[in-house]
Structure 1
Amino acid sequence: MKIAPIIHAIQAKQQQDADIRYRLIHTGQHYDQNMSASFFEQLGIPNPDINLGAGGGTQAEQTAAIMIGYENVLRQERSDLCMVVGDVTSTMACSIVARKMLVDVAHVEAGIRSGDWTMPEEINRIVTDSLTNYFFTTSEFANRNLRNNGVDEERIFFVGNTMIDSLLRNIERFRKPEIWDRAGLEPGSYVVMTLHRPANVDEEDKLKELLEAIIINSKGIPLVFPVHPRTAKIMMNMGIYAPNLHMIEPLGYLEFNYLVKHSKAVITDSGGITEETTVMHVPCMTLRDNTERPETISIGTNELIGTDPKAIAPAMGKLFSGNWKKGDIPEMWDGKTAERIVDILVSRLLP
């Protein structure tokens, strides 16, 4: 979702005879069919030029596999710039390799921080930004974090959010998933759930308490729960059942966001989803104690309610009473972020 708009913007520049070439490297980190391959098809991304096949294993094993694979790529053909996005293991691993091989790094979605060092993503962000040459940021919060870390202003480019580029480019293409008709869903009459963070799903009793609290306070409206592979493993023997709980396989981008767009609310522990709900003006409850995207709270429709199951009841009460905030859209989340990034690449960084 973050890479697709950048590729489309590069292709548009190439048609204007700009001297810019790219290769797309898939590390293989996300290897579930619905969480990887279908996204290439749905978002119109060309097949990767290289796939490192580094899926599976522990975080250390995966990091090592990505680093070995990417080092071999750069040995065979060194690039002028390595662009990484987000805060996944691939982002950190490729940044380390690139800098050691004297290739500059540009980080898209740089500078975001949760302050929670128990999250692998926070480690990835900090390591990546300590190595990055050029920082493309989504918000003034991110800019401030980088300045506080001593990053020179001329290396910070406040461009907006490529996730929102993808959202706005595809919003008219969203399509009903099979669960829509099967569960008799109607706009504004159901809640979408996603849970995958270790703090919520690693302990069976904690996950069960959260789900039971959501079910009890849902007033019987449908709860649509695309189950992340990580969560599915833990839920296999849990025995959670409710007539209004619909646990389904992970969905493609177009199907999932169709559900989000038409939902009454979203309950999640994902960071990216809070950005999408903000732009679509959908109420969002985040089951975390911190967030790296504070603009979705201060400006958008998101509320941080924590991981205590007791927090579910008052949040759901606020939703059903119609008192949830309407929210606004953060600056530069306008669908033109990738254009700004590629303009900077062509005019300032690559020459």
Structure 2
Amino acid sequence: MKAMVLNAPGGFDRIEAIESRDPGEPGPEEIRVAIKASSLNFHDLLVAAGMIPSDDQRVLMSDGAGVVEAVGDGVTEFAIGDHVVSGFFPQWLDGAPIPSVGNFAGTPGDGIDGFAATQVVRAATAFTHAPEGWSHAEAATITTAGLTAWRALVVNGGIKAGDTVLTLGTGGVSIAAIQIAKAMGATVIATSSSDDKLKRVQELGADHLINYRTTPEWGSAVQDLTDGRGVDHVVEVGGPGTLAQSINAVAVGGHIALIGVLTGRQGDIPTGALMAKQARLQGLIVGNRRQQQAYVAALNQTGIRPVIDRTFPFEQLADAFRYQESGQHFGKICVEW
């Protein structure tokens, strides 16, 4: 079996292809999956760069999509040949967040071995069915980025037709959020530092565009675009460096889904402005299995397909991370066996 592992203390030059022990046959309530693809997320980059400590020779990648090769006793949800996609928190099946999701101890590619391997044996509940007719690379975009956007807008945000959504940048979460928002009948205001990328999000349905490099006070620009009302939902992927502008942009009683830390892990928050807006600021990390199943059902109904910028062979995983770090991508970066 092939696997891509990270040697301590981390760094892209410490990623290595190895021959690993075959995982064997699945036990009761388990399935064996031939992994065909994964997709890169900011969390994966932090692990690979050594910014999140992990065990030596940790198998990388939180996302995994592939084909069921064998099923253990008691498994009725899956059959040999089914196309499946992994969950980010395999221990969180339904309901409110559970304590063990707070430290990533059970998250593939971080606390446990991930999906940069040709075969894995896991609990059947660690996977859901993939969307119908999707490639494995497309399905691999669901686990982290897609489900995060779904939870932000649909599960936590309760988005409805006529709402207004603000997205930041053109990474995987933001692109998925634009697609979900438009499918739900919302108006989308999208930001980016690149006019070329803004043209591409316009093609995806974004209604209003803001270049945050040329318009640094983009929160006020959002207020102008909404006649002083603000937006109902902000998909906040930046963190402390962008949160003040997001609070300015949100409507009174609106919702800010705090997802990312692209600008850092801590900083000043204008609490007075947040209180005056009576807005809901909610941190979230991906979602549970039940939410992923609902997201897949919605994808099957809407016909949404993910935007994949570029796909690398798994053996070039380090190069894929370097490309991700450069910020040139639009949408998702994937790797395939």
Could you tell me the TM-score, scaled by structure 2's length? Answer: 0.33
Normalized per residue, the structure richer in strand is 2
Normalized per residue, the structure richer in helix is 1
Could you tell me the TM-score, scaled by structure 1's length? Answer: 0.32
